[in-house]
Amino acid sequence: MKDQTPGQSGAPRFAELFTPKLVTVLREGYGLAQLRADAMAGLTVAIIALPLSMAIAIASGATPAQGLYTAIVGGFLVSMLGGSRFQVGGPAGAFIVLVASTVALHGMDGLILATLLSGLMLAALGFLRLGVFIKFIPFPVTIGFTAGIAVIIFASQIRALFGLALESEPGELLEKLPALWAVRESVTPAAVLLSAATIAIILGLRRWRPHWPGMLIAIGLAAAGAALLGLPVETIGTRYGGIPSSLPVPSLPDLSMDKVVAVLPAAISFTLLGSIESLLSAVVADGMTGRRHRSNCELVAQGAANIGSALFGGFCVTGTIARTATNVRAGAHGPVAGMLHALFLLAFMLVAAPLASYIPLAALAGVLAVVAWNMIEKPAIAILVRSGWGEATVLGATFFLTVFRDLTEAIVVGVALGSVLFIHRMSRTTQIATNTAFVGRDEADTAHERGDYREERAANPDTVIYRINGALFFGAAASIGSVLDRIQDGHKVLIVDFSAVPFLDSTGANMIEGLARKARKRGVTLWLTGASRDIRRTLLTHGLKRPWAHYRTSIDAALAAGRAIE
């Protein structure tokens, strides 16, 4: 048995950090069986991405063709160059607000230039190895801004959902709602019918036929119904004149200094949100598969994908959680699945572009309404509200600032509030347990009473003990989580000792919850020992109950209980 504490191993070389996962997978050996698995997964993801890419583009103020360009070019480069084995890239709902505001302020050329600059910034962040700092964002902040974006996405689709006649729709929510209410008498019954039917079909198939491509089926039926019945609704054809059946010739946007300076704030926002969204998606894939991504390599790939998308007239690319999770569930073996997903989308565009003209905008709005609902992580919000006033305050502030102010401002304020909350709690913890250091330090052997060395602890190679020294908060959760994830490999029992942990926040608890799920999936029994009453309450609030985790007062008690189970 191994008894471990946090430490550093030899630093990896530059080439090792930035070798794409595609190269790793090919080195492992790649044959016909792996290609077949990746082809089926890629086709499954492409079927989902086809209507979603067009819907996101339209909601963002771009054309449906640009959404496909983004998914094809950006998606291919994300998978080919990325540091995640299963990441699938493309246009994301989280960008709708930022993209729409950028188009309104700077036009389509400004959007493409901002995407190009964002790609350069993302690549620079990766090469400077700053990707690890993205993980310092507290858990309530990510939940809050995601929920806020979902509300804005839904609000942006109200006009299409009800077929309202509104020439110029305001961007701000407080201005948008009165403007929509003023034209409420222009509701189109056919549009309401199509959007409601689209939502009902998607939700119904998800419940009774979860493996069927619900979004594509719903869009296809809506288009067929609108065409056959001659319904008076707006379609892609009437609004945009259809979709081209080929990719455009790559070209550079206007690179004048004045234009660069004008779009720079938008590019910074794209970079911030893109790095958070892509790394969150990679973490989700890690949790589903037990693999580990390389965050800096992933950021470089995201940068290349955004540059490529901009050259072909597309917009922001990021790793998308829904498509990445679908890729994993569909049995993907590696990055080839994501590359094939892009090629399948290209084939769809080449062959079926004329049919896209019949797709009603109300049906695409229905798709985005479902996407917005899915973005709101209801269980996580409930957990954070139950966790106490601190997490609820950070969550609420981030949510309301995202909805009514600005996404970048919401993230900055959310992180600042999370830091203040941490300092406040640490000050209270220090008063209660002044002998527990915030960060473990070297001490003489005689500084404290020491128990006898127990030889039997080192005799069992199936058990590993990990002692955490110091606060487990959002700044330390990522590094500790990566160590915990590594040391449970090859073991049957993992004991995590909290005796020297004075404070645990929601981000740390969420990391331990993810660890518990991975451990159970691998058949590893997780014991949590020495947790104070407050820390144990936080862990239980985050769902760390039996059979996911077992609690004991000490390491010896956990070892004894483990032997009794055997």
Q: Partners of 235 in the beta sheet?
A: 360
Ramachandran class of 241: left when φ > 0, alpha when ψ lies in -120 to 50, beta otherwise: left
- The helix (run of H) or strand (run of E) holding residue 464 is strand 463-469
**Mean pLDDT, 10 residues at a time, the chain of 566 residues:** 47 76 90 90 87 87 92 95 91 85 91 95 91 74 84 86 82 83 90 93 90 85 90 86 85 88 93 86 74 87 96 92 82 92 92 85 88 84 84 91 83 84 61 40 48 48 75 62 59 82 79 81 84 86 84 83 66
Query: Which of left, alpha, beta for 313 (phi over 0: left; psi -120 to 50: alpha)?
Result: left
Q: How are the residues of the chain apportioned to helix, strand and coil, as percentages rounded to the nearest 5?
A: 65, 5, 25
For residue 468, what is the enclosing H or E element? strand 463-469
Check whether domain 431-437+460-563 has CATH 3.90.1150.10, yes or no: no
Domain residue spans of the chain: 14-138+164-376, 431-437+460-563
CB 528 within 8 A of CB 466: no
Q: Nearest to residue 89, comparing CAs of 373, 352, 268, 335?
A: 335
3-state secondary structure 351-386: HHHHHHHHCEHHHHHHHHHHHHHHHCCHHHHHHHHH
Question: Which residue is listed with tokens 């090919």?
Answer: 26
Phi-psi region of 362 (alpha: psi -120 to 50; beta: other; left: phi over 0): alpha
Q: Dig out the tokens for 429 from the structure.
A: 């913890």
Q: Is the pTM of this model over 0.85?
A: no
State the Cα–Cα distance between residues 292 and 486, nearest whole angstrom: 9
Q: Using an 8 Å Cβ cutoff, are 135 and 415 in contact?
A: no
Could you write out the DSSP letters of every residue in 40-106? HHHHHHHHHHHHHHHHHHHHTTS-HHHHHHIIIIIHHHHHHH-SSSS--EE--GGGHHHHHHHHHHH
Strand 89-90 vs strand 318-319: parallel, antiparallel, or unpaired? antiparallel
Q: Which residue from 170, 168, 169, 161 is spatially nearest to 188, judged by alpha carbons?
A: 161
